[in-house]
Structure formats: C-alpha cells, structure tokens
Amino acid sequence: MILFLAARPVTAPPVRPSRPVRPAPPVRPAPRRPRLRLRPHSRPLAPYRRIFAVPGTRAFTAANLPARLPMGMLSVSAVLMIAGSRGSYALAGAVTATGLAATALVGPWTARLVDRHGQARIAVPATALAVLGSLSLLLCVRHGAPDWTLFVSYAATATTPNTGGMSRARWAHLFRDDPAARHTANSFEQAVDELCFMLGPVLATLLCTALFPEAGTAVAAALLLTGVLLFAAQRRTEPPVAPATGRPRSPLRLPELPPLLVTFLATGAVFGSLEVVTIAFADGHGIRTAAGGLLALQAAGSCAAGLLYGLLRPSGHAGHRFLGCTAAMAALMLLPLLAAATGSPAALAVALLLAGMATAPTMVTGMGLVQSLTPPGQLNEGMTLAVTALLGGIAAGSAGGGWAVDHLAGAGAAYGVPAAAAALALTVTLLTARRRPNRPAAPVS
C-alpha cells in the first residue's frame, strides 16, 4: 500500500483562474503651484496703485487739484485783464513781476508758519488773504482805480500757500520709511504740476476772451479758495506739527541746499525762456495761435516723462541720479535750437516734446533731494524755497529770452538761452557732486 501510494504521481491541486492583474497607473508628479511672481511689465501701474491704496491719499489728492490749477491761471489772467483794460502790456508785466517778487519774500515765511502750526490752521487764512487780493485787483481794474492799487492788490496774493509743497509733505510723512514710494509720489506730483501749467493758461485765456476780461481771475480765485478748504479738511493725512525747540534754523544754512537751489533757479530759467522764445518763434512764422499748442507739447512731454519716471525703481545715490537728469536735460535742450535753425514748426514741435521729457525727472529727483536734506519739521519751508528759486528762474529766463529775441538774429538763435540755462544747471550740479561727500544711498524697500 505504501509502495502503491508512493508510485502514484503527485499532482498539484487545481489552480483557480484569477482575475487579470491590471498594471498600476504611472505615477505622475504632483502639479506645481504657480508662484506669484509678476513679470516686470505685467502690472505697470502697480507703484501708483500702491501709494493710492493708503487711506486718505485719494481724498487729499483730489482736493488739491482745484487748489493747484490756479497757479497756471493767475498770472496769465492778470496780464490779459490789465492789458485788455489799460492797453499796456508793460504795466501788466510790471504788476505780475511785483507779485512774483512779493511771493519770493512771503512764500518761505508762510511755509514756516505751516510747519510750526499745521497746514489747516495757516493755509486757510493765508488763502483767504490771497483771494481778497485777487478780488481787489479785479475791482480796481474794473472800476479804473489808479495804477498803484494794482501793484498793492496783486502783491497781496503772495500769501498763497504752496499747495504742491503741502501735498508733497503729506506723501513724505506717509512714506517716511519707504523711499521707493516717495519717489513714485514725487513723480506723480510733478506730473500734476505740469498738467496744471499746461491746462491753466489755456483755461485762463478761454475765460478772458470768451466771457469777459475779469473772468479768468474770478474763476481762479474761486478754485483756489474751494480747493484749499477741501484740502485742509483732510486731517487724517496731515503731517503732525513738529515740537518747537527754540528758534528754527533756516534750511538755507544747510551747506548742500543753496547749490541745489541754484540748480532750481537755472531750471526755472529754462522754463521761462522757452515760453517767451517759443511765442516769438510762432509769431515770426505767422502761427501765433499755435504757440499755446507748441508749449502744451513741451508740458505734455514733461508730464508723460514724470509719470513714467515714477514707475522706475530708484537705485544708487540720489545725487548721482540728479546729475544724470541734468545732463539729459542739457543734451535735450539743444534739440529746439537745432530744430529752430531749420525754420520748420513741425520739427520744433517734435523737439519741444522730446526736450520736455527731461525736465520732469530733473524736478522729481531735485525735490527728493530737498526732502532728504531738509529736517522733517521744515519740509514745507524747504520745498517752498525750491519753488521760490524756480519762480525766480522763470522770471529771469523770461527776461533773458525776451532780450535774446530782440537782440539776436531772430527767435531761432534765442533758443540758445534755454540751452545755456540747462548747461548752467549741469555745471552747478557737477561742481556740487564733486564736493559732496560720498554718502551711501538710502535703502529702497
């Protein structure tokens, strides 16, 4: 039995058929989450959106616009009103020059009071006094008062506060620890200045010619008072008043500020001479009505360049950037001189557009230097000194440009005056940069 069992073949148990084994799906790598990395030009307006995202910035900016527009209207309106009623451009020019000289003396004093006591407490009464001066000028012209009353009335407008400086002071306070945001804000403010200087004269001329000669002055005074009242009401963004620590030291005693103000003076001479010479060029070519359009192109180029400059991230020392900006301005101011030599108004229009694109970056960087040099409690005074130097340069440039038109070979050669003024700004900046100690640049966040 045992042998029989051993002889039997041993068979394996039947294997039940199993389900076919499916191959495992290939392991795919988990999808990566896209990083939130923006391309350099994917959001070109991001710097401006960033500064206007701060609560209160849109409100004080919107209120400041009607307050700032009259700065491009008052002088033009006064000239048209006085010349139209008295028949003398010499008298009109003398009255506006007197007001400019008074502004140069009173403006820094008003700004110092603003720094000491706050924007709202000083700007409103100062504006009220300036508006009364404008209304007095209007009434004196309207009713044929003696000429000396025109000088006194227009001199009273010198208390007009520096609305652009007060706006820049608010940005400087809000972004005191953010140089990149301050750069963008200063660029925006410069673009607004250019826009006001571009639209103000056009609006003043339209009002004085289409309605009545006093309309420009009346509307400018109303806009100034309304805008300052609205601006002063925005208290949440107003810079705090610095505590009094004795008699404040004038920013003019800072060693680096006077040379910078000389550069502002030369830059103002560029603006003033360019305006007079362009009007003379258009008059000489029989296109006097197009003079405003030519000047608007220069302002438009500066406005566009200011906005684009605000999108750039500032790097390096601000003094080196300022030197580069003045060098670009000196180079581009040669273009109107070359274009005028051809006698082509179209070529001059293109040259003015390109030349204007160098002025805004110069002003933006220069104002940033003024802010960095001036103590925080004297920002309004420091920026008003810069504006005063700019206005003084505009007056000197207007006189120099007019002299060049009368004594040189036509308006084409007179474009050498703005070119020379830009070269002077570059020379002063170059000499100052060589003597300035090498300070590290402020960190940009």
Domain boundaries, the chain: 57-179+201-241, 251-445
Token pair in block for residue 47: 């710097």
The separation between CA 58 and the C-alpha centre of its own chain, rounded to angstroms, equals 17
Residue 17: CB atoms within 10 A of its CB come to 6
Separation of alpha carbons 61 and 193, rounded Å: 12
Residue 360 contacts by C-beta under 8 Å, 6 or more apart in sequence?
A: 187, 190, 191, 194, 302, 303, 305, 306, 309
Separation between Cα atoms, residue 414 and residue 408, nearest integer Å: 7
Please, are residues 301 and 361 in contact by the beta-carbon 8 Å criterion?
A: no
pLDDT of residue 5: 40
Residue 129's Cβ-count burial label (10 Å; 0-12, 13-18, 19+) is: middle
**What is the DSSP secondary structure assignment for residue 243, as one 8-state letter?**
P
- Tell me what pLDDT residue 441 has: 40
- Which of 442, 382, 413 has its CA nearest to residue 248? 382
Is the Cβ–Cβ distance between 260 and 432 less than 8 Å?
yes
In the block, tokens 């103590």 appear at 375
User: What letter does residue 232 receive in the DSSP assignment?
Assistant: H
Q: Which residues of the chain, if any, have pLDDT below 70? A: 1-44, 89, 242-252, 288-292, 314-316, 318, 376, 409-411, 433-445
The predicted structure's pLDDT at residue 315: 66
What is the third-level CATH fold of 251-445? Growth Hormone; Chain: A; (1.20.1250)
Burial (CB count <10 Å: 0-12, 13-18, 19+), residue 116:
middle
Amino acid 323: pLDDT? 85
Number of neighbours of residue 51 by Cβ within 10 angstroms: 22
Return the pLDDT at 73: 80
Q: What is the pTM of this model?
A: 0.70
Spatial CA neighbour of 47 closest among 237, 193, 183, 176: 183
Q: Which amino acid does the sequence have at 412?
A: G
Contact 118, 241 (CB under 8 A): yes
**Both structure tokens of 441:** 């640049």
Closest by alpha carbon to 117, among 381, 367, 383?
A: 381
CA distance 169 to 379: 6
What is the CB-side half-sphere exposure of residue 205 using CA atoms within 13 A?
A: 10
Write down the pLDDT at residue 223. Answer: 92
CB 224 within 8 A of CB 135: no
Query: How many Å from the N-terminal Cα to the C-terminal Cα in the chain?
Result: 100
Residue 225, pLDDT score: 92
Q: Are 151 and 101 spatial neighbours (Cβ–Cβ below 8 Å)?
A: no
Instruction: Find tokens 């000499």 and name the residue.
Output: 431
Which residue, 425, 315, 302, is CA-closest to 361?
302
Amino acid letter, 265: L
163 with 268: CB under 8 angstroms?
no
Residue 3 has what pLDDT? 37
Q: Which pLDDT belongs to residue 434?
A: 57
CB proximity list for 38: less than 8 A, separation 6 or greater: 46
- The H or E element that residue 384 is part of is helix 379-407
The structure tokens listed for 39 are: 């391309």
Question: What sign for the dihedral angle of Cα 96, 192, 361, 103?
Answer: positive
pLDDT value of residue 71: 81
CA-nearest of 442, 423, 420 to 320 is 442
Angle between helix 215-232 and 163-174 (nearest 10) = 20
CA distance 159 to 157: 5
